[in-house]
Structure formats: C-alpha cells, structure tokens
Amino acid sequence: KLFNEYEIEVSLKKPLNICKMIKCYKETASTQTAVKKLAEKNFGEGVVVIAEKQTKGYGRIKRVWNSNEGGLWFSMLLKPAIRPDESSRLSLLFSIALNRILEKKYGISSEIKWPNDILICGKKVAGIIIEMSAEQDIINWVAAGIGVNINNSLPEDLKNISISIKEVLKREIDRAEFIAAFLTEFEGLYFNFQRDGFKLFLEEYNSKAAYKDALITVDSGYNDAITGKNFGIDESGRLIIETKNKIEKIISGTLRRAEK
C-alpha cells in the first residue's frame, strides 16, 4: 500500500519538531531535490518529503541510487544550531538512529560503514546523504536524504552487495511504522547532539562500526588510497587509520576492506 501522511502521523504517537509537515509523492526525481527547493523558499525546519519511487535518486558523490516501489526514500529539512564544519556528523547520527531501530524494533543486528551506510550481514540496507547551504559560520539549512531497502525488490546486479529488511525477516514491514519509529529516535539524538556535541555518541558509534580493527582501504578522491588498520572515528567524525608510518585522520572518503 502507498504512503499517506495521516498514517505516519498516527504512528508517530507524539508531535515532533523535526516532522511538522509531511509531503508524500507517488513519484519524484529525488526527494533531496524537492527538499532543497522548499529550503530555498524559506520553509522552516521539520519538512519531511517521501516518495514511493525516485527516477533520479542519488547518494554520495552523485552515485545513482536504485529506488523502486516498496523501499523508504525520504529527505528532511533541518536547521541545526551547529557550525557548518559539524554538519557531516549528522550523517553519523542518522546511522545511529537507523542502527537502533533495526535492533530495538526488528531484532536485526546491523553495522555502520563509515561514513554513511548501514550494513546487514555485510550488505548495504541503507544509505544517507547530507547536503547544506551555509555562509561563514552559519548553516542556512541541511537537506538530509535517507534511503532504506524495506520491501523493495533489488535488481540482480545489486543482490550480492545489497539487502532488504523484507529479505532478512521473510515478511513485509509496515513502512509508516518504520519511518515514525526512526523520526522519533532521531529527534532525541538530534536535540542532544545540538546541546552536547557528538562525544555523547562516540562510543556507541564505534561499537557498531563495520571493519573495526581490520585492515581497510579508503579512497578519499583527492589523493592516493590509504590502507591501514581501522580504529573507528574520533569526536569530530574523522576516521582514524594506522598506516605503516603514522596515524591518519580522514575527513571523507569511500571505505572498503583491504585486499590481502
């Protein structure tokens, strides 16, 4: 069945500051594009845009994101009271919220692959993208996009690297319930993060980090790939890698298990 705003509001149990308005589309190019347009029209924090299907869904570095019917594809408009250089930590917060919901509500154990993927049994079930507009030390707005494989069928060429919740649990999931649980979980994290910073969540994040203490390779896109032992992240969200020569702290990149 299709999403409708009322069903999600009923599932929410209580009003949320980060979800003051829900817009559901049967099809859109990208929920990120839709939210950014609303941000430019000066909409306030708390708009959530959901699509049954995206025709031009994208992830980090504009990678194509397969988003057919049955999944959960949504974007949120946020106006956090943080510095622009702290915005990448929002991706880490979203990861923690997704990880918690999978565990608490569905009994599924998942890992967080830095910076923004959720893995089940080593396969990708969700991804996050953060885009923003800022001037000097002030964030105007953040568009946060989340894609979760819930009841959608995955194309053959992705089945060895991706997984859906339906596949794991062998049953369909109520998507309105999932997004309501996620938004409720995230609101608490978001409030505490703005008040006290990311240090509150550092230990939890690192305890769920994929490939922790393993040999990994990170392609930063700017220079040669770096290979070393994965020590998780520091308080500012940078990945700590111990190479043969030194400790490296990486701000962004694509992480994979190193070839032996």
Buried b (16+ CB within 10 A) or exposed e, 209-247: bbbbeeebbbeeeeeeebebbbbbbeeebbbbbeeeeee
Go through the chain and tell me how many residues it has.
260
What percent of the chain has a predicted confidence (pLDDT) above 70? 94
Same domain, 158 and 215: no
Residue 121 φ then ψ, to 5°: 55, 35
Which stretches within 56-87 are classed as H helix? none
Q: Are residues 62 and 186 in the same domain?
A: yes
**Do 32 and 117 reside in the same domain of the chain?**
yes
Alpha helices in the chain (DSSP H): 5-12, 31-40, 88-106, 165-169, 175-196, 202-207
Q: Count how many domains the chain has.
A: 2
CATH number at residue 110: 3.30.930.10
- CATH code for the domain in which residue 226 is found: 2.30.30.100
Specify the pLDDT at position 126.
96
- Residue owning tokens 């299907």: 53
Clarify whether residues 45 and 68 are in a common domain.
yes
Say whether both 63 and 49 belong to one domain: yes
Sheet holding 247-250, edge to edge: 247-250, 239-242, 226-233, 215-219, 254-257
One domain, residues 101 and 200:
yes
What average pLDDT score do residues 30-59 get? Answer: 91
- Residue 228 bridge partners (DSSP): 216
The rounded distance, in Å, linking the Cα atoms of 210 and 256 is: 10
32 close to 129: Cβ distance less than 8 angstroms: yes
**pLDDT mean across residues, the chain:** 92
Give the residues across from 64 on adjacent strands. 58
Q: Does one domain contain both 176 and 247? A: no
Decide: 52 and 220 in contact? Cβ < 8 Å.
no
Q: In 10 A of CB 66, how many CB atoms?
A: 16
Domain around 233: 211-257
Looking at the structure, tell me whether residues 98 and 24 fall in a common domain: yes
Structure confidence at residue 241 (pLDDT): 96
Q: Could you give the CA distance from residue 60 to residue 253 in angstroms, rounded to a whole number? A: 10
Work out the average pLDDT over 38-55: 95
Of residues 58 and 2, the one with the higher pLDDT is 2
Shared domain for 99 and 184, answered yes or no, is yes
Position 61 confidence tier, pLDDT thresholds 50, 70, 90: very low
**For 63-91, how does the pLDDT look when each residue is reduced to its tens digit (9 = 90+)?**
555 678 899 999 999 999 999 999 999 99
Q: At what angle do helices 5-12 and 175-196 cross, to 10 degrees?
A: 60
Tell me: the pLDDT tens digits for 148-206?
999 999 888 888 999 999 999 999 999 999 999 999 999 999 999 999 999 999 999 99
- Looking at residues 241-247, what average pLDDT do you find? 92
Q: For residue range 86-131, what is the model confidence (pLDDT) as tens digits? A: 999 999 999 999 999 999 999 999 999 998 899 999 999 999 999 9
The candidate with the shortest Cα–Cα distance to 78, out of 30, 22, 19, is 19
Judgement on whether residues 10 and 97 belong to the same structural domain of the protein: yes
Say if residues 15 and 48 touch (Cβ distance below 8 Å). no
Contact predicate 127/94, CB 8 Å:
no
Same domain, 172 and 144: yes
Residues 249 and 163 occupy one common structural domain: no
Share of the chain above pLDDT 90, in %: 78
- Give the model's confidence band at 223: pLDDT under 50 very low, under 70 low, under 90 confident, else very high: low
- Residue 56 has a pLDDT of 75
Cβ pair 109, 169 in contact under 8 A: no
